[in-house]
């Protein structure tokens, strides 16, 4: 195991000024929108959460469109279609965005940008899920929304909104931060349910949002990390988890003392876990990987020692380029 630096902000200095400015603006909005009663001022947050409209005309080699699954809960997904040979089979990635279960959407510019780049790099069709947010909608709303989209795809395998050459037997489930947590729990539900047309062959968890009551070494040491703090994650868990729950709830601490899901018995997809050395949640992500291995599931760990939380939102960083290559290689290995 590498020894991590005690200067979590050093790598952030490599980020172009426009991204640092945007990140600071989002951070300000997140902190300012939180009310003392545990709710969020959505009006303030929406002023800073800029949206990207769907683009029927190819933009950077990718077209997008939105499909409504349930209008009553604003449940929809954004479809990203790569420019490719229509005779080729293409895999699909069902993607869940980050934001601590409480912020952002499938149409938020950072989420749209990342999925667009992932679509172009992997050549896969991306289905980016817009799920309900906490604290207005607590656990298990987000998991229910994610699984309902997966069932919608399974039940509408021949729907006109999906390209004819998409191969649902080559389906990956993925997410960043809270989306990585979502991907895990939705995958568990899918394994228990038994889908007819969709076959999950891989899970991509990018800096997944896990935790527990215990304070880990990375949480106590990394106190000045950009984008996230232990105080912030505590607030988010309280906003998301059921009233009266602590952070050992199985939604948060999946292999902890209150865990109820034994995935040893499930045909769980091969999993790629991505961690960053400057992420306070680093140790919880390592424990997630170790938990998968203990359950005898196929898992690989990708570590970037100098990466901060959400580094993948900055395309200029070396680690972001390496991540895209790693995701592509992981998918190709499982497909072939």
pLDDT in tens, 308-322: 999 999 999 999 999
pTM of the model: 0.94
pLDDT at 7 over 80: no
| Rounded Cα distance, 177 and 268, in Å | 20
Residue 223: pLDDT band by 50, 70, 90 thresholds? Answer: confident
Report d(CA 9, CA 238) in Å as an integer.
27
Alpha helices (H) along 156-267: 178-193, 217-221, 230-240
- Kindly report, residue by residue over 75-131, the tens digit of the pLDDT: 999 999 998 656 678 999 999 999 999 999 999 999 999 999 999 999 999 999 999
User: Is the pLDDT higher at 262 or at 333?
Assistant: 333
CA atoms of 24 and 257, how far apart (whole Å): 37
Query: For the domain 62-335, what is the CATH code?
Result: 3.40.50.1820
Residue 196: what are its φ and ψ, rounded to 5°?
-90, -45
Q: What are phi and psi of 28, to 5 degrees?
A: -60, -45
* pLDDT over 60 at 5, yes or no: no
Indicate if the pLDDT at residue 49 is higher than 80.
Answer: yes
* Catalytic-residue membership of 309: yes
Place of tokens 């400057």: 278
9: pLDDT confidence band, cut at 50, 70 and 90? low
Separation between Cα atoms, residue 54 and residue 79, nearest integer Å: 9
Q: Note the pLDDT of residue 114.
A: 98
Is 279 among the residues known to form the active site?
yes
Q: Which residues of 91-122 are buried (b: 16+ CB within 10 A; e: fewer)?
A: bbbbbbbbbbbbbbbbbbebbbebbbbbbbeb
Radius of gyration in angstroms for the set of CA atoms belonging to the chain, rounded to a whole number: 19
3-class DSSP state for residue 158? Answer: coil
Q: Which of 138, 144, 127, 232 is nearest to 185 (CA)?
A: 144
Q: Are strands 125-130 and 75-82 parallel, antiparallel or unpaired?
A: antiparallel
Nearest 5°: phi and psi at 267? -85, 75
- Given 49, 148, 279, 283, the catalytic residue: 279
Strand ranges for 119-258 from DSSP E: 125-130, 166-176, 200-206
Given 97, 249, 306, 309, the catalytic residue: 309
CA dihedral of 155, 156, 162, 165, whole degrees rounded to 10: 70
Element (H, E) at 1: none
String of DSSP letters for 129-161: EE---TTTS-TTHHHHHHHHHHHHHHHTTT-TT
Question: Residue 178 CB: number of other CB atoms within 10 A?
Answer: 27
Show the tokens assigned to 170. Answer: 């080559």
Structural domain boundaries in the chain: 62-335
Q: Catalytic one among 105, 107, 177, 218?
A: 177
Give 2's pLDDT tier (boundaries 50, 70, 90). Answer: very low
């Amino acid at each position: 195991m590498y020894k991590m630096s005690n200067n979590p902000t050093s790598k952030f200095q490599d980020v172009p000024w426009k991204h640092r400015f945007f990140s600071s603006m989002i951070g300000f909005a997140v902190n300012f929108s939180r009310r003392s009663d545990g709710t969020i001022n959505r009006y303030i947050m929406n002023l800073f959460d800029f949206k990207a409209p769907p683009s029927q005309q190819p933009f950077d080699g990718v077209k997008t469109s939105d499909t409504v699954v349930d209008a009553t809960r604003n449940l929809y997904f954004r479809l990203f279609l790569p420019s490719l040979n229509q005779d080729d089979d293409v895999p699909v990635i069902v993607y869940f965005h980050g934001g601590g279960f409480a912020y952002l959407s499938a149409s938020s510019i950072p989420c749209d940008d990342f999925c667009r780049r992932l679509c172009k790099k992997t050549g896969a069709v991306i289905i980016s899920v817009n799920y309900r947010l906490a604290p207005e909608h607590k656990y298990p709303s987000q998991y229910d929304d994610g699984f309902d989209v997966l069932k919608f795809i399974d039940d509408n395998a021949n729907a006109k909104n999906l390209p004819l050459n998409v191969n649902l037997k080559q389906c990956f489930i993925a997410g960043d931060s809270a989306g990585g947590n979502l991907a895990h729990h939705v995958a568990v539900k899918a394994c228990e349910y038994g889908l007819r047309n969709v076959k999950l062959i891989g899970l991509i968890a990018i800096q997944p949002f896990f935790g527990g009551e215990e304070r880990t070494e990375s949480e106590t040491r990394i106190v000045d990390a950009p984008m996230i703090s232990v105080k912030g994650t505590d607030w988010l868990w309280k906003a998301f988890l059921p009233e009266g729950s602590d952070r050992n709830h199985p939604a948060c601490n999946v292999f902890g003392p209150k865990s109820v899901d034994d995935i040893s018995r499930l045909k769980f997809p091969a999993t790629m876990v991505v961690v960053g050395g400057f992420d306070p949640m680093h140790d919880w992500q390592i424990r997630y990987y170790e938990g998968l291995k203990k359950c005898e599931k196929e898992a690989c760990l990708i570590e970037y020692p100098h990466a901060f939380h959400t580094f993948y939102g900055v395309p200029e960083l070396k680690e972001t380029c390496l991540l895209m290559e790693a995701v592509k290689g992981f998918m190709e290995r499982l497909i072939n």
